[in-house]
Structure 1
Amino acid sequence: MPLLTTRPTIYLGTWSARTMWETGGVFQIASETRRYNLEVLGISETHRTQVGQQRLTSGELLLYSGHKEENVPYTQGVALMLSKQAQKALIGWESHGPRIIKASFKTKKLQSIVEKCPTKDLTILMRDLNAKVEIDNTEYEDIMGRHGLRERNENGERFANLCAFNKLVIGGIIFPHKRIRKITWTSPDHTTQNQIDHICINKTFRRTTEGVRIKRGADIASDHHLLVAKMKLKLKKHWTMGRTISQKFNTAFLQDTSKLNKFKIVLSNKFQAFHDLLNGEGTTVESNWKGIKEAITSTCHEVLGHKKHHHKEWITVDTLDRIQERRNKKAAINTSRTRAEKPRHKLNTQK
């Protein structure tokens, strides 16, 4: 079974979007996913209802889970955005309400382990948990380091107990980083900053994680920063028995005289070789049809090639300009030396 052409090191992320209902919201998240080379992005606070999946024109696949009832408020909601490579390794996914979504992937390292011990899985837990975890890791040395940001709150206590019970390591407080690289949430008035978004991995696969830090340059009009984990992991393609998608040949090339002449010559040569085989004994109508089909399709492959689909993005140029303008303002805020300078840029994060 061939491996995907992914890098030995892959990147996973988690982000609180605050909403995905605004025009261009999904496109903007997909754009940032490609910009930071993320294979899987966990998204919370999508405010989407129902359960389903959406394939984007740019190739990403969005799996979402929200309230299933009719006429409910657009609150909560979680989603996973998968790159083209991650989609090929997807085994299956499950919705568990508006706060939990689960997806399973096949990996190179997992394969030999799964065959011997099916209960051993690489488990990754990531989202905005509103849990503050302190520097003191007494009694939690196995699942957390000493690089937290603030004192542990009530949610942080429950979160630490959850990780200890399930042997999940909290990635964001294992690796030493500058304080600015740990802050995952900033209040709208820029006075309060916390580390409340987390990425966890089960202890068995602790060594696959090479680093966890935020990406301050990513922007989707949220008060949360994108949190990314760098992992040493290769996804393996999960083969499914499905219907093959037919591809169209680029017949527009036949309008070119040189291409048309080449097509005629190659096809004529293939038919000549096929004609010689027809003179032999034991030929049937079925074998003749297969021979003719093979001659035509192989010539098309060789001379014309497949037609490429160019998807037209529905997002407007004006929206793209506004996205870039917001990104520039956020960069200016991030590089402000004092708190007094931040309000000057007036970055609007209200929905």
Structure 2
Amino acid sequence: MGDFNAKVGSDNSDYEYVMGHHGLGEMSENGELLAEFGGNNDIVIGGSLFPHRPVHKVTWVSRDGLTDQIKSTTSASAENGEGASLWIHRQEEKIGRRFNTRRLEDAAVRRSFVEELENQAAEGGSVEDQWTAIKNAFIATGENNLGELRTQRKQWITDDSWMKIEERRDAKAAIERAKTRGAKAAARQRYTALEKEVKRSCKRDKRAWTESLDDEELDDLADRISAAGIKINVNKTKSLDINTVNPSNFTVAGQAVENVESFQYLGSQMASDGGTKIDIGARIKKARAAFASYRNIWKNNQISRRTKTRIFNSNVKSVLLYASETWCVSVENTQRLQVFINRCLRYIIRAWWPHNWISNAELHRRCHQKPIATEIRERKWRWVGHTLRRGGNEICKQALDWNPAGHRSRGRPTGSWWRSLSKEIKEVDESLTWQQVKAMAGNRPGWRSFTTALCTTRGAQEEK
């Protein structure tokens, strides 16, 4: 199929089943489309699974001197020798033995490991013989000096729960071994039942273990915690400055805290510029992975379009619009979200160019979809209404009236969530004030009419 002008980058979060983390740079827009294609068709970008030299990952240099990455795939087979394919079908991987390499921190163990490894080094023979001898030497030396790394067992999990966990692992392997659709469906159904049983059993075990702690054990645990003190993990502590010129520098326990440009908090990406571009990009990635996981449903001709649309709304769009009530969306971000939704809907109803091409308006009509900007506005004002009806001491309600101290810099003010709120109110009625809107929230029928007018105004503007 030729070369794709796509850069997949090294961050494979939400794309673990599509690509590895041995790419270059950051994922480009074509890289997102390539990853989406791989997820929808159950194939993996093989060139990113294993470490390679950068020169082997790059096929051209851009005009600005920055190296770009191209992942290629060919339709030629490996037998005729017409090039190697960087796309591979997913197959079951065999995980090798893992040794406890932490023991190498001990000088005596490290010295013994090196000496024994040097004594077992083999010389001469073919390349295969030398490689086999090296591999066996590392395995034997690791067994003698390091030992295998085993997962620590949680003390509150009982033997019965561990037996259920083993049954679940066997059921998952049975899904991969199934040859027919019926056998695969039966194995998947058994795995789902065991998954629910394992979760219920572990919850029961943890609840019973917590309740079994008597007062004496709790006092002993408190004494040990107070004796050891509360230690902050500085490596996991990050600092994020929002809309500041001079970043703050401070230390914890004598160690400097790393200052970052973005940070994930409760599933949302907080950016140093206060914007939502990074968060929206992360939500699109997660929604793309969710959409790819239902590709068997989208391709099934026995399922009606109405059912597919309902599944898309509940399982994909809900992931995409998570925490969208707090977004300050721009035209660019709204366009990115709308393009992703349109692409998903066209994949579901097979409305592709040139044979089955339809307009976006017709696409939304067939799938009963509203413009994404209207949905975000509806969610935002629904959340504002719930917040205004809360008690007077609620922090989230107080935050709506909070006015930060200080002066903004010269120039046009950047867009913010509060400014977008005020602008939308003026679109309905120029004379409305924030105090009048707050008083309106207590009257649910009146609030419903107000939010309907807000969203109707937005919809009329988008149609124009």
TM-score, normalised with respect to structure 1: 0.22
By relative contact order (CA 8 Å, sep 6+), the higher-ranking structure is: 1
Structure ranking higher in strand proportion:
1
TM-score, normalised with respect to structure 2: 0.18
Larger Rg: 2
